[in-house]
């Protein structure tokens, strides 16, 4: 969807929205939701109007800090716990605190976040707290093997943790091959396999990658890699992983076609076979999500730009219940009722 919306159409969509913003006093986006100690904690981006002109690299997304939002249950009022981490506290980071995620292990909470260094290249850092709401104390350096954007950390049943990341265009993934940066690298041709997201198991202390990062394959129904020209299905950004009935569900945004899609596999590394869309386009250019379970029900956390009347970089986090059919297929949702 474009940044230009007819005011009447915006009002119509607002009235048809399947859910309302969880908070309205600030703009929030890219929600990573987890249940820690029986309570929902959401780790979003904190959108601001940084006064930066729009461009395809997303420089107008000039976020500077992170807030943590909690909910006692899905029907409860969302509580903003204030600033949990500011870019000025991160020695290696200069700007653009984009979509974060969090994890919990042995009484410690870890906030993973991308930011641009002084050279304009994204890397991913980690900050630690004794509380799920922070404040978080950042490590002095970025995670060595990391690059690009949108970290998502998944705790598997065996106690291993995996970090997924990557995003093309402004996320810079197109400049990497085999974990090496080269500014001359670009997206593959339309008839070539699309670039996949990246995964690495985390170290026991949750502060580093325990292995060399690997590229994930997303396959079509015939077992062939999704092609770069297949914009309705190819990976763009916004990795997320959850597990349902023993299957690994990898979900992501298609970027310029504005879909949240998913693919399933048998290991945390994939390969993953494309299954379909979870969420059709929202108001605003970006779409970004997470999925978590609370007391036997599953919820999709996402954002749109209805509250800001269609301003793409001023978004609001929402949530809604999702359902699976008997075969484990996620039922596609529209963010606005027909």
Of the candidates 48, 47, 13, 15, the one whose C-alpha atom is nearest the C-alpha of residue 30 is: 47
- Known active-site residue 192: no
User: Which among 47, 215, 237, 304 is annotated as catalytic?
Assistant: 237
* Lateral strand order in the sheet of 101-105: 101-105, 108-116, 122-129, 137-138
DSSP H stretches of helix in the chain: 7-16
Residue 90 to residue 95: CA distance in whole angstroms: 10
CA dihedral 184, 185, 188, 193 (to 10 degrees): 170
Of the candidates 137, 136, 139, the one whose C-alpha atom is nearest the C-alpha of residue 123 is: 139
Structural tokens at position 49: 């109007």
User: Which among 30, 150, 215, 304 is annotated as catalytic?
Assistant: 30
- Known active-site residue 30: yes
Contacts of 32 (CB under 8 A, 6+ apart): 42, 43, 44, 99, 100, 101, 102, 152, 240, 290, 301
Residues belonging to the active site = 30, 237
């Amino acid at each position: 969807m474009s940044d230009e919306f007819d005011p009447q159409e915006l009002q119509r969509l607002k009235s048809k929205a399947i859910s309302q913003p969880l908070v309205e006093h600030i703009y929030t986006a890219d929600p990573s939701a987890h249940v820690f100690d029986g309570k929902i904690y959401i780790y979003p981006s904190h959108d601001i109007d940084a006064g930066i002109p729009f461009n395809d690299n997303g420089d107008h997304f000039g976020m500077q800090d992170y807030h943590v939002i909690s909910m006692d249950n899905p029907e409860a009022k969302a509580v903003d716990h204030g600033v949990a981490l500011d870019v000025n506290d991160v020695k290696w980071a200069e700007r653009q605190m984009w979509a974060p995620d969090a994890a919990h292990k042995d009484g410690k909470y870890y906030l993973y976040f991308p930011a641009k260094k002084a050279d304009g290249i994204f890397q991913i850092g980690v900050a630690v707290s004794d509380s799920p709401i922070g404040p978080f104390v950042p490590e002095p350096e970025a995670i060595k093997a990391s690059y690009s954007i949108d970290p998502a950390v998944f705790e598997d049943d065996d106690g291993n943790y995996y970090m997924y990341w990557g995003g093309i265009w402004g996320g810079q993934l197109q400049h990497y091959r085999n974990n090496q940066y080269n500014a001359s690298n670009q997206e593959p041709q339309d008839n070539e396999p699309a670039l996949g997201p990246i995964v690495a198991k985390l170290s026991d202390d949750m502060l580093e990658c325990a292995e060399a990062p690997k590229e994930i394959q997303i396959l079509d129904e015939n077992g062939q890699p999704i092609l770069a020209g297949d914009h309705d299905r190819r990976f763009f950004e916004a990795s997320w992983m959850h597990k349902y009935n023993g299957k690994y569900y990898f979900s992501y945004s298609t970027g310029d076609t504005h879909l949240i899609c998913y693919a399933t596999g048998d290991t945390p590394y994939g390969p993953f076979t494309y299954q379909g869309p979870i969420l059709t386009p929202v108001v605003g250019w970006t779409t970004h999500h997470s999925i978590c379970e609370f007391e036997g029900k599953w919820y999709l956390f996402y954002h749109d730009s209805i509250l800001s009347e269609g301003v793409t970089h001023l978004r609001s986090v929402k949530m809604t219940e999702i359902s699976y059919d008997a075969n484990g297929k996620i039922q596609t949702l529209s963010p606005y009722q027909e």
